[in-house]
Amino acid sequence: MTKVLELATFIKKQKTGLVKRPVRVKRGGKEFTRQQWVRPEELESQKVSKVKSIVSNTLDDIVNKYIKDHKKEFDSDPSLEYHQFIEDVNSQVFKKVFGKDYKDKLDAAHNVFGEWKQWSSSGGACLFRQIVGKMVGKEKKSEIEINNVVEHDAKEAHPSDTKMQKEYVELLKRRYNADREEYGRHFDEALRVSSEMTQQVLRKQFGDTIRVYRGTTANMARRLEDKFGKLEKGKKYRVDNGILSSWTLKDTVANGRAHINGGIVLVQDIPTSSVLYSDRVNSSSGSGLRSEDEIVFYKENQEVELG
C-alpha cells in the first residue's frame, strides 16, 4: 500500500511540473539525505545562486588581491605571469563549480572561445551563437544568424564560384555539427560559469555599466545612413546587432579599424550583466589577441552613437 501511495504521489507531482532534488537534513542528532519536490525554475534559480556564490568567493580570494596589486596590467599589454594568473583563476573557479568533471567544461570553453577568435563562421563561433540563443530564448534567431554568417563567408571565400560556395557551406556546417557533438553539452554549462566570472571581474573594474566601442566597415556605415540619414554626434540610434555583439574596450582599436575599413566609430554603454566574454578575463586569450580588448555581449535594441 505504501509503494502504491508513493507512486501516486510521484505521478501527481510530475503532472504539476515538479521535480525532485536531494537535500541534507538533521533529525535526532543524525544527518541524512531526503528528496524534496521543487519547481524547475526554483531549482534553476538555486543553481544560479550557487554558481554566483562560488565564483564570488573564489574571486574575492584571488582576483581582488590581484587587481589591487597589479591594476596597471589590466590597461596595458599583459605579461606571461598575467596569463598564468588568468589560467589559474579559470581553473580554480571551474574546479569548485564542477568538481572532478571541470576539465571537460574548461576545455570546451577554451576551444569554443579560441575558434570564436579565429573567424566568425568557425564551428566554435556558430556553437557560441547557438548556446547564447538557447540561453536567451532566441534559438530560431540564432540558427538564422548562423546560416547567414556561413553563407556570407562562403561567398567571400569563393565570390564567383557557386559550386565552391555550396561545398564551403557544407564544410562549415559539418564543422559546426562536429563541435556541437563534441563540446555542446559541456559548453552550455561552462558558458554560464565563465560569463558570471567575467561579469564579476569587470564589475570590479568598471561598475554596473561599461563603455564599449566599435569600428565599422564602410558598408555598415552606409547601411546606417540609409536607415537614419546623416548621423549626428550626441544623437542615439537604435540598432539590432544580433545574438552576439563583438565590440572593444579600447577606442584606439575601434578608431584603427574604422580608418582601415573606411567606416565610422560607434560607442555605447552596456550593462556589465550582459557580457559573455572578454579578452581581459577568459583564458583562451593570448597576449597578441588581447591587444584587441574584445568584449562580447548580448543586448537587444542597442542604442549607439557616433564616437
Q: Tell me the pLDDT tens digit for each residue of 169-185.
A: 999 999 999 999 999 99
- Tell me whether residue 211 is in a domain: yes
- Tell me whether residue 106 is in a domain: no
Asked whether residue 64 carries a pLDDT value surpassing 80, the answer given is: no
Asked whether residue 296 carries a pLDDT value surpassing 90, the answer given is: yes
Each as own residue / partner, the long-range contacts of residues 64-69 (CB below 8 Å, 24 or more positions apart, any chain) are 64/204, 67/201, 67/204, 67/205
Give the burial class of 6: count Cβ atoms within 10 A of its Cβ; 0-12 exposed, 13-18 middle, 19 or more buried: exposed
**What backbone torsions phi and psi does residue 114 show, to the nearest 5 degrees?**
-65, -40
- All 3 cell numbers of residue 283? 583564458
- How many domains is the chain built from? 2
Cβ partners under 8 Å of residue 129, min gap 6: 142, 145, 146, 149, 243, 244
- Tell me whether residue 224 is in a domain: yes
What CA–CA distance (Å, rounded) separates 93 from 58?
6
- Reduced DSSP (H G I as helix, E B as strand, rest coil) percent helix, strand, coil of the chain, to 5: 65, 15, 20
pLDDT of residue 205: 84
Name the strand (E) or helix (H) holding 180.
helix 162-206
The predicted-structure confidence for 231-267, as pLDDT tens digits, reads as follows: 888 899 888 778 899 999 999 999 999 888 888 999 9
Beta bridge pairs of residue 214: 266
- Tell me whether residue 82 is in a domain: no
Q: Are 258 and 264 in contact (CB under 8 A)?
A: yes
pLDDT of residue 239: 86
- Tell me whether residue 120 is in a domain: no
Domain with 218 in it = 207-306
- All 3 cell numbers of residue 73? 596590467
pLDDT range class, residue 15, cuts 50, 70, 90: very low
Q: What value does the mean pLDDT take over residues 114-123?
A: 90
Q: What value does the mean pLDDT take over residues 60-82?
A: 58
- Tell me whether residue 109 is in a domain: no
Asked whether residue 270 carries a pLDDT value surpassing 60, the answer given is: yes
Of all residues in the chain, the percent with pLDDT exceeding 90 is 41
Asked whether residue 307 carries a pLDDT value surpassing 90, the answer given is: no
- Tell me whether residue 195 is in a domain: no
pLDDT range class, residue 49, cuts 50, 70, 90: confident
Give me the count of residues in the chain: 307
What is the DSSP code string of 190-233?
HHHHHHHHHHHHHHHHH-SEEEEEEEPPHHHHHHHHHHHSS--T
Asked whether residue 124 carries a pLDDT value surpassing 50, the answer given is: yes
Q: At what angle do helices 139-157 and 123-135 cross, to 10 degrees?
A: 160
- Tell me whether residue 140 is in a domain: no
pLDDT of residue 129: 95
What CA–CA distance (Å, rounded) separates 129 from 189?
14
